[in-house]
Amino acid sequence: MDFLIRTKMKKEKLIQHRTPFYCYDLKLLNQTLDQAQTHAKKHDYHIHYAMKANTNDRILEVIQSKNFGADCVSGNEVKKALEKGFKPNQIAFAGVGKSDEEIEIGLQNDIFTFNCESVQEIEIINELATKANKVARIALRLNPNVDAKTHKYITTGLEENKFGINSWELEGLLEKLPSLSNIKVTGLHFHIGSQITSMTPFKNLCIRVNELNQWFLDRGIHIEHLNLGGGLGIDYQNPKENPIPDFELFFGVFKQFLEPRVHQEIHFELGRSLVANCGSLISKVLYIKNGIKTNFAIIDAGMTELIRPALYQASHSIENLTSVSSDSEFYDVVGPICESSDCFGKKIELKPTKRGDYIKIHSTGAYGEVMTSGYNLREQNPVVFV
Ligand SMILES: *Cc1c(COP(=O)(O)O)cnc(C)c1O
């Protein structure tokens, strides 16, 4: 595997760690973050790291040190961001179902914004802010009805999705706003989905945002910032050839098609594209068994360590690290959990694989470690940094 070759980490080194384990390449993380910041800064764009992708302490520390903001989706994420040194005025708090306790955490810490997803949520934030004698800065998460053309479970910007305030609610909301005295609308927020690899949905988003921005302007509402969310995809099929997403192209689309007013700040919330490729899941082969079409390689990692294939039909590049053969064979790579969906890939081409071989599942730095579960009373995974 690339980092093994680079760092000359040999099999003896691998054996020191109990499998399965997550392994993070901090050099690649740093390079990815630098690229993202370089291309964002060219246009004066601000990036908040979408923490839900990976909340590992070391990773958060590196990201914080490079002057990213944080995008949080729970009260505990807000607390964690503060603990790791993100400044309150860099913290956005999103989510369709913020509890009263979570809202209070945001209020007490004077965060940058609450990204609000329903009219009732705004009323409750106003109530709680009044009680706390605070004025809450909010951004309206608007549902732009733009198809992200990604897997349906990670599509969020269509009217059929639970996210955001729909356009037919806006008039009513504006009538209500003057009575909500402890709310200040400072921004408009959008997030159309995740793992988006074509730039067309982002272009369509810009066109819709321009209309909505104008709509608010026409009604005399001053919007200080536009938050375009995250969603930039990575190359799961060829992680070695394409380790870093094309941030220049991504931000360039917004530069070209978005029409902000003077003084309007532009914010993004990137998760996957910043951290996915720097992580991998290392697992050991327990058994090989004959199947009807291909052999099964039963490995010691399962959906309890990496749920993306079972949850989103996601596919990750898989590699045998220790087989020295130059041949290849096909395997269904499966985990030990008692569910048929506990499968990392069917008909995967690997070097001839036997019990004890080490398997690397690539690009698992986002929505990997954070989604592990204790189902089947599974052991917690160790984490290794290189
Ligand atoms: C998950 C999420 C993100 C990050 O999405 P990525 O695809 O990981 O970049 C950004 N904003 C919101 C509101 C989210 O829910």
* pLDDT one-digit tens code per residue, 71-126: 999 999 999 999 999 999 999 999 999 999 999 999 999 999 999 999 999 999 99
Q: Is 208 in the pocket of ligand 1 (CB under 6 A)?
A: no
Query: Cα 23 to chain center, whole Å?
Result: 18
Residue type, 166: N
Triad 198, 200, 201: Cα angle to 5°: 90
Query: Per the omega criterion (within 30 degrees of 0), is the bond before 20 cis?
Result: yes
Quick: pLDDT tens for 154-210: 777 677 778 889 889 999 999 999 999 999 999 999 999 999 999 999 999 999 999
3 state DSSP class of 3: helix
Quick: pLDDT tens for 320-334: 999 999 999 999 999
For residues 46-83, one letter each, b for 16 or more C-beta atoms within 10 angstroms of the residue's C-beta and e for the rest, the string is bbbbbbbbbbbeebbebbbeeebbbbbbbbebbebbbe
Q: Which atom of ligand 1 is nearest to the CA of 73?
A: 15
3 state DSSP class of 379: coil
Q: How far is CA 241 from CA 12, 234, 279, in A?
A: 27, 11, 15
- Give the model's pLDDT for residue 14: 67
Measured in residues, the chain has a length of 386
Structure tokens of 289? 């068994």
**Of 223, 227, 113, nearest to 170 (Cα)?**
223
Which value, to the nearest 10 degrees, does the dihedral of the CA atoms of residues 30, 201, 238, 346 take?
Answer: 130
> How far, in Å, from the CA of 13 to the mean position of ligand 1?
35
Query: Per the omega criterion (within 30 degrees of 0), is the bond before 352 cis?
Result: no
- The Cα 104–Cα 370 span in angstroms is 24
Helix (H), strand (E) counts: the chain = 12, 16
Task: List every span in the chain annotated with CATH 3.20.20.10.
Answer: 26-276
- The Cα 330–Cα 295 span in angstroms is 7
- The Cα 68–Cα 268 span in angstroms is 10
Q: Is 53 in the pocket of ligand 1 (CB under 6 A)?
A: yes
Instruction: Check whether 3 has a pLDDT greater than 60.
Output: no
- Give the model's pLDDT for residue 291: 79
Q: Is 25 in the pocket of ligand 1 (CB under 6 A)?
A: no
- Give the model's pLDDT for residue 146: 85
Q: What band does 144 get if pLDDT is binned at 50, 70 and 90?
A: confident
Residue type, 312: Y
Quick: pLDDT tens for 204-232: 999 999 999 999 999 999 999 999 999 99
Q: Class assignment of domain 26-276?
A: alpha beta
Q: Is 271 in the pocket of ligand 1 (CB under 6 A)?
A: yes
Q: Which atom of ligand 1 is nearest to the CA of 272?
A: 8
Largest CA distance in the chain: 72
Mean pLDDT over 348-366 rounds to: 97
Q: How far is CA 282 from CA 107, 142, 357, 381, in A?
A: 41, 40, 10, 10
Q: 2-22+277-385: which CATH number, 2.60.40.3880, 2.40.37.10, 3.90.1150.10, 2.60.40.420?
A: 2.40.37.10
Q: Which of 191, 251, 311 to mutate to test the pocket of ligand 1 (most atoms within 8 A of CB)?
A: 191
Instruction: Check whether 286 has a pLDDT greater than 60.
Output: yes
Q: Is 194 in the pocket of ligand 1 (CB under 6 A)?
A: yes
What pTM value is reported for the model? 0.95
Q: Is 50 in the pocket of ligand 1 (CB under 6 A)?
A: yes
- The Cα 133–Cα 70 span in angstroms is 25
- The Cα 146–Cα 198 span in angstroms is 13
Task: List every span in the chain annotated with CATH 2.40.37.10.
Answer: 2-22+277-385
Where does the chain have alpha helices with state H?
Answer: 2-7, 11-15, 26-41, 57-65, 75-83, 100-108, 119-132, 170-176, 200-218, 247-257, 272-275, 308-312
User: Phi/psi of residue 288, each to 5°?
Assistant: -115, 130
- The Cα 189–Cα 175 span in angstroms is 20
Averaged confidence pLDDT in the chain: 94
- Give the model's pLDDT for residue 8: 43
Instruction: Check whether 1 has a pLDDT greater than 60.
Output: no
3 state DSSP class of 318: strand
Instruction: Check whether 339 has a pLDDT greater than 70.
Output: yes
- If you search the block for the tokens 């799961």, which residue do you land on? 236
- The Cα 227–Cα 266 span in angstroms is 6
Quick: pLDDT tens for 295-311: 999 999 999 999 999 99
> How far, in Å, from the CA of 227 to the mean position of ligand 1?
11
> How far, in Å, from the CA of 275 to the mean position of ligand 1?
12
